[in-house]
Chain A
Amino acid sequence: MAGVARLCREAGVACRVSMERMMCCGFGACGTCNVAMTDGTYKSCCKDGPVFDAEEVAW
């Protein structure tokens, strides 16, 4: 997925990715399904995703 995101970036093609994480709850209570963002923060896969813009994910 990281490879596809890189190819899209090089070709100037918009790319969205559907992420997967182990989750305890799936409704925003546990904080375990974190996805690292390029700005140094984390987002929850369950509530903020699971689909993210490939550009905002820290591969």
Chain B
Amino acid sequence: MGEKNVSMAVDLGGVRMQNPVNTASGTFAFGSVFEDFFDVARLGAITLKGCSAEPWNGNPPPRMCEVPSGMMNTVGLANPGVRGMVEQYGEYLAGLEERGCRVIVQAAGHSVEEYIAAVELIEELCPWASGVEMNISCPNIARGGVLVGGTPESAAEVVRAVRPRVHRPLLVKMAPVRVPEIARACEAEGADALSLINTINGMSIDVRTRRSRLSKPTGGVSGPAIHAIAVRMVWEAAQAVKIPINGMGGIATWQDAAEMILAGATSVTVGTANFYDPTCAADIVDGLASWVAEQGVADINELIGAFEC
């Protein structure tokens, strides 16, 4: 992969990727719709839309609005359930793995029991998956909607419950709160890698109607608007733990991705930009390879965390 004989392969906690470029859950569906734009097998990995044990309808419309340099969403983890996903996309995804692109299945839940049910189904029905990412940025319904992964204690509780049931690399998708402490808690419970950041909670109000521009009062802000915050949090996480970091937050160009790598990310994940520039993840693969050559190193791993103050 890449040009001028540079090595682009990275190991994200046991997920061996041909290059560091991944796509963010919820921005890439189940991969297949992007085949109309480019050869998805060129990517290092894709992360699927979060799936729960049972299908979820998600939130009512409107689910998105634009904000300066980004967007806000309240999709509410609408998904066909693990079984529905496998029925519709299992064959395509198994084929994508054979073509060289790693597939990471994301598990969603509102409680420890729901996470366990989701990962057990994934273990049973997704033998082709290279990794499981657990999204702990969901609201815990049983505890009044507080974030499942909002404290080191609650993050540790859910990782501890799921870890023995996942027999392949386990990634934890963190909320952008208390990053160093929660990163250490997840590492201590046996996470193989950390994915961050998820969206940052925001609000947008229509001043004429005085209503939220979404169907809920708040939503998750994503896109270039949050990139600088994400780079800082990835850097903090990389200082706090030894396990690899899957960095994301507002990556739209190879330069944004390179920044994340320098801050300490082993892999770089493209999210919101997939919506308005559907080939950008493939363009970032090419841009990063040129950057590695230009930096005068033979292997992209030499640039992970190579930031100098």
- Encode A19-48 as 1/0 by CB contact (under 8 A) with B: 001111101111111111000111000000
- Return A8 CB to nearest CB of chain B, in Å: 22
**0/1 string, B19-36, CB within 8 A of A gives 1:** 000000011110001101
Asked if B274 and A29 make an inter-chain contact with CB atoms under 8 angstroms apart, the answer reads yes
Residues of A within 8 Å of B278, CB to CB, are: 25, 27, 29
Q: Does B217 contact A (CB under 8 A)?
A: no
* Minimum C-beta distance from B252 to chain A (A): 14
User: Could you tell me the distance in whole angstroms from the C-beta of A55 to the nearest C-beta in chain B?
Assistant: 19
CB neighbours (8 Å) of B65 from chain A are: 22
Greatest chain A CB density within 10 A among B29, B61, B73, B274 is at B61
Instruction: Select one of A22, A29, A32, A33 contacting B28, CB under 8 A.
Output: A29
Interface size on A, residues (CB 8 A): 18
CA distance A23 to B276 in the complex (A): 10
- Other-chain residue from B27, B58, B64, B274 in contact with A22 (beta carbon distance below 8 A): B64
Min distance, Cβ B56 to any Cβ of chain A, angstroms: 11
B58 to chain A, nearest CB (A): 7
Complex-state Cα separation, A42 to B57, whole angstroms: 7
By a CB distance below 8 angstroms, the chain B residues around A23 are: 64
Contact A30 B64 (CB under 8 A): yes
How many Å from the CB of A52 to the closest CB on chain B?
13
Is B75 within 8 A of A29, CB to CB? no
Known: A24-B275, A30-B27, A30-B75. 6 other contacts (CB 8 A): A22-B64, A23-B64, A24-B64, A29-B27, A34-B63, A42-B58
